[in-house]
Amino acid sequence: MNETKVGSWLYFFLGLACFLIPGVVAVFIVYDKGISFLPVFMFAGIVIWFGLFWLFPFTFGKLGKGKKKVSFDERDQSIHKKAVMSAYVVLWLYFVAVCVIAWCIVGPHGSISVNVMPLTLLGGLVIFTLVQGLASMIQYGRGGKDGEK
């Protein structure tokens, strides 16, 4: 397993942990103490902060130019871009599915609790991370999609 692939796995599990732990804590606070701005802002803040990690690999090519040892190059960047794109598409499908399922369950005149929203968001983030990691693994396993025979 190469260095970048190991990094990708680490990234995958760290990403999951970063979103799961604060997400579960925020949802727990909401259910335990009632809905308030504090857990919602805390969760949103953490999501934005860790969400920036997804942008770092896009700039690695530029940042790492001065270094002698290369651990992230154009192929890794291409794989990362495709993985993020795949995850983004699945994320949208997930949100559409959630809306349709909610509509089917409660009906056109029903209503749902606002507590469902952070849960839906958390589920979306977990799905995004999982799909991104999976897409990266598939592409590394196949040597990257570009120029594949």
Give me the residues that bind other proteins (CB under 8 A), please: 2-5, 65, 68-76, 142-144, 146-149
Residues written for the chain: 149
- Tell me the closest approach of the beta carbon of residue 148 to other proteins, in angstroms: 6
CB 43 within 8 A of CB 118: yes
Distance CA 25, CA 49 (A): 16
Torsion sign across C-alpha atoms 45, 26, 34, 95: positive
Judged by CB, which is closer to other proteins: 79, or 87?
79
- Tell me the closest approach of the beta carbon of residue 59 to other proteins, in angstroms: 16
Judged by CB, which is closer to other proteins: 5, or 127?
5
Judged by CB, which is closer to other proteins: 68, or 109?
68
Judged by CB, which is closer to other proteins: 28, or 56?
56
CA torsion 41-44-45-50 (nearest 10°) is: 160
- Tell me the closest approach of the beta carbon of residue 135 to other proteins, in angstroms: 16
